[in-house]
Chains A and B, each alone.
Chain A
Amino acid sequence: MSMTNTAWRQGQQSKAARLGRASHLVGGNSGKVVKAEQTVALLESVIQPGDRVCLEGNNQKQADFLAQCLAKVNPQQVHDLHLLQSVVALPEHTALFDKGIAKEIDFSFSGPQGARLANLVAAGKIKINAIHTYLELFGRYFVDLTPNVALIAAEAADAQGNLYTGPNTEDTPAIVEAAAFKNGIVIVQVNEIRDTLPRVDVPADWVDFVIHAPRPNYIEPLFTRDPAQISEIQVLMAMMVIKGIYAEYGVKRLNHGIGFDTAAIELLLPTYGEQLGLKGKICTNWALNPHPALIPAIEAGFVQSVHSFGSELGMEKYIAARPDVFFTGNDGSMRSNRAFCQAAGHYACDLFIGSTLQIDTYGNSSTATKGRIAGFGGAPNMGADARGRRHESEAWVKAGREAQANPKHMPRGRKLVVQMVETFREHMAPAFVERLDAWDLADSMGLNNPPVMIFGDDVTHIVTEEGIANLLLCRSEEEREQAIRGVAGYTEVGMARDKKKVEELRARGVIKRAEDLGIARRDATRDLLAAKTVKDLVRASGGLYNPPSRFRNW
């Protein structure tokens, strides 16, 4: 047959037309390099009104130069874009909506811009289609939200357009894969153009345009926690977690959320964990960013492997010197991958532990607060039982057994999902509430479901300075509620407890106080921390960790 059905190739034709419009802007041997000062012109040439544009940016790496250029395009020419983003983090991101360049968005998280997003919604300048988890959003890139144009960031490109994404590879592979194989245009900002790359993370034929940005892309050192700020109460809670949960279930594969609470656990492994004889028995394999606070545990031989969502500023040399632990390329530098690490955290870990702003009496937790539209990034995937999981482990089987109320039911393992909070945060804000702020936020945003980070039925343990509530062992809604109230301290939720019922639960081991675990509160001092300062972390790393300036006092 000689007939060709052009109707099947509209995407290719569209891409060819766009590339044609930009042909006068390119130079270099590969015909892919565009000068930084022509970036706005490039974007105006290849982006069409109404396009789905994926702008790379998460809570760490940002394609910030491309974001700034996109905010400078002529809104008469480029408008009504549908933005796809992991994290709305920069002022330029929200400026796109102020200027009418973009009109709708699908995203995962909006930390620092949460209040501005809420204002834009109120002003009718933005349409938020949905807030996802990272994995959900990546998934939709391959189903119904495939980008027409992807604007990404890499460490370096070579003359052909091959990319080296360095330790902070993060979201790049997922985004490029979706765009490049569905007629999308891939534009990358790089920090430098080199003759040869240390390794190729993205092959040149997936990349259409390369721009040498005037400044290195921004990276937020989000996972660095200064041990100097860890309190004795956090040390106490960390001791309870190690003895009452990690040792109890033999938790080997896990993920930690960000925060001082979890940093305290990491810093107690080589001291308290070692004293309890737990080396090799807990915390051996991690889905985790390279937390500087994990250095002492790694050095003490606690840790066998760490796969990471992204990297962490200052950890590069240390990671390169510990290839047995971290995932590194032949060049020696780390390769992170947010999509794979999220999948690992969801399916291959036995435990997630993290903190939150509010927990209700059902165990639902949320970081959503009034006046801010924030989303939850990866936490909902980490902090959810993996219903598709089939492989067994000691921790998973034991948790499942504890949850099984009726021996006739089909046995099924459970992921341990732990919420770790002090009963009051700073300024006496209670962590336990009768009703989550998320309800009001849902009303104001017109959502059917309040934005819950981790649903109560996924939570297995709640840890506070008052003790551990094991929700797996609760056999009724009423028991669950009293177990939660029983560790909620002097919050209103805690003071409304049924004291008798709480003592019953304690007798059954559903609630465990520090003393029930054989932990003396007076032993919970900062002297237990394997590092008490950032400088201690540097020393523990043998001088390989090079913390960003803002974390130094030397």
Chain B
Amino acid sequence: MANSFLEASARERVQAVCDEGSFQEILKPSDRISSPHMALLEQPVAFDDGVVIGRATLGGAPVLVAAQEGEFLGGAIGEVHGAKMTALIAKAVKEKPRAVLLIFESGGVRLHEANAGLIAVSEIMRAVCAARAQGIQFIGLIGGAAGCFGGTGLIARCCDVLIMSEEGRLAMSGPEVIETVYGVEEFDSRDRALVWRVSGGKHRYVMGDIQALVADEVNAFRNAALAALDSGKVGFDLENLETEHAMLTQRLKQFGDCRDAKEIWQRLGLPSAEELALMPADEFVRATSVARDVARGAQ
């Protein structure tokens, strides 16, 4: 099995992140729960509609898991795909596992079934928040080539803990969309270093949007998920909402005039963007720990 999280398929990621051999899929490919809408549009379907869900253990603790397959329609959320995630969370509320692992790789709403996808995203967001309020921990993992965009990016930011590799991207709109609307001067989507400085794991880590930055290795993701179990749990209450509000408010004050993470990093007194770009994840985490606290407004 490939060691790279980026190169692994959704199924391989589930197998590698959870305890070996522990994964039990719910709605197997042979159940043929695929999209009824793609056929109407004469588009090929996937047996699992691009998301694998099931039960597993993580460090011996029972967890529920969902993993999106970024290669199938960019991991986009349609009716069935979305309902599988919503249902998994409903199941978590019933079964009370130690945590729910969401392995994201998705461009957001699937255009071919856009209305269903949009509704599904809001259902998943509501379900995640409601389940968190009942004490269930949500751990999100982001490190696939398709990134985590649009509605999926909103779902991700509803989790307790997010773990990313620097290859992962977490944002709302993709650079191509912004370039199409406002031109190449606004956002040059071919300038991939810039794209990553705007949406990649390293930038998101310094900003405090995610809790862990790891190397692009399935084991690194697994270890971070193990570490996150319980210790990363933040609950869902006014206190942590207000903490987040303070962080987001001071971010706009401190960096609201910036258009590139280079400016932010410079303002935080960090090494040059070139140096930071080449640092392995662990070294980067060490090099930015003080700056990250300043950026988050944490003392």
Q: Do A and B come from one complex?
A: yes
Chain A contact residues, CB within 8 Å of chain B: 228, 526-527, 532-533, 538, 543, 546, 549-554
B278 touches A538 (CB 8 A): yes
Bound together, the chains give a CA A552 to CA B202 distance in angstroms of 14
Bound together, the chains give a CA A526 to CA B194 distance in angstroms of 28
Scan B133-153; emit 1 where CB is below 8 A from any A CB, else 0.
000000000000100000000
In chain B, what residue has the closest Cβ to A546? Answer: B274
Given contacts A552-B196, A553-B167, contact A532 B4 (CB under 8 A): yes
Q: Which of B1-43 contact A (CB under 8 A)?
A: 2-4, 6-7
Residue in contact with B194 in the complex, picked from A532, A533, A546, A549, CB distance below 8 Å: A549
Q: Known A-B contacts: A549-B194, A553-B196, A554-B193. Give 14 more (CB < 8 A).
A: A228-B7, A526-B7, A527-B2, A532-B4, A538-B278, A543-B278, A546-B274, A550-B190, A550-B191, A552-B193, A553-B145, A554-B167, A554-B196, A554-B278
**Interface: B200 (CB within 8 A):** yes
Residues of A within 8 A of B4 (CB): 532-533
List 6 A-B pairs, Cβ < 8 Å: A546-B274, A549-B194, A553-B196, A553-B200, A554-B196, A554-B277
A553 touches B2 (CB 8 A): no
Bound together, the chains give a CA A553 to CA B4 distance in angstroms of 14
In chain A, what residue has the closest Cβ to B191? Answer: A549
Bound together, the chains give a CA A213 to CA B253 distance in angstroms of 41
Nearest Cβ in chain A — how far from B156, in angstroms?
A: 18
Bound together, the chains give a CA A553 to CA B192 distance in angstroms of 6
Nearest Cβ in chain B — how far from A529, in angstroms?
A: 11
B2 touches A526 (CB 8 A): yes
In chain A, what residue has the closest Cβ to B200? Answer: A554
B166 touches A554 (CB 8 A): yes
Bound together, the chains give a CA A96 to CA B52 distance in angstroms of 57
In chain B, what residue has the closest Cβ to A549? Answer: B193
B2 touches A550 (CB 8 A): no
Nearest Cβ in chain A — how far from B8, in angstroms?
A: 11
Q: Which of B23-76 contact A (CB under 8 A)?
A: none
Residues of A within 8 A of B145 (CB): 553
Bound together, the chains give a CA A551 to CA B4 distance in angstroms of 18
User: What 6 A-B pairs come out closest when comparing CB atoms?
Assistant: A549-B193, A552-B192, A552-B193, A549-B191, A553-B167, A554-B166
A550 touches B278 (CB 8 A): no
Nearest Cβ in chain A — how far from B4, in angstroms?
A: 6
Considering residues B4, B192, B202, which has the most beta carbons from chain A within 10 angstroms of its beta carbon? B192
Residues of A within 8 A of B166 (CB): 554
Bound together, the chains give a CA A311 to CA B277 distance in angstroms of 24
Bound together, the chains give a CA A551 to CA B192 distance in angstroms of 7
Bound together, the chains give a CA A533 to CA B191 distance in angstroms of 17
Residues of B within 8 A of A533 (CB): 4, 6
Bound together, the chains give a CA A554 to CA B145 distance in angstroms of 12
Q: Which of B252-299 contact A (CB under 8 A)?
A: 274, 277-278
Bound together, the chains give a CA A527 to CA B274 distance in angstroms of 28
Bound together, the chains give a CA A228 to CA B6 distance in angstroms of 10
Nearest Cβ in chain B — how far from A135, in angstroms?
A: 34
Nearest Cβ in chain B — how far from A286, in angstroms?
A: 27
Nearest Cβ in chain B — how far from A136, in angstroms?
A: 35
Bound together, the chains give a CA A228 to CA B7 distance in angstroms of 8
Residues of B within 8 A of A550 (CB): 190-192
Scan B166-182; emit 1 where CB is below 8 A from any A CB, else 0.
11000000000000000
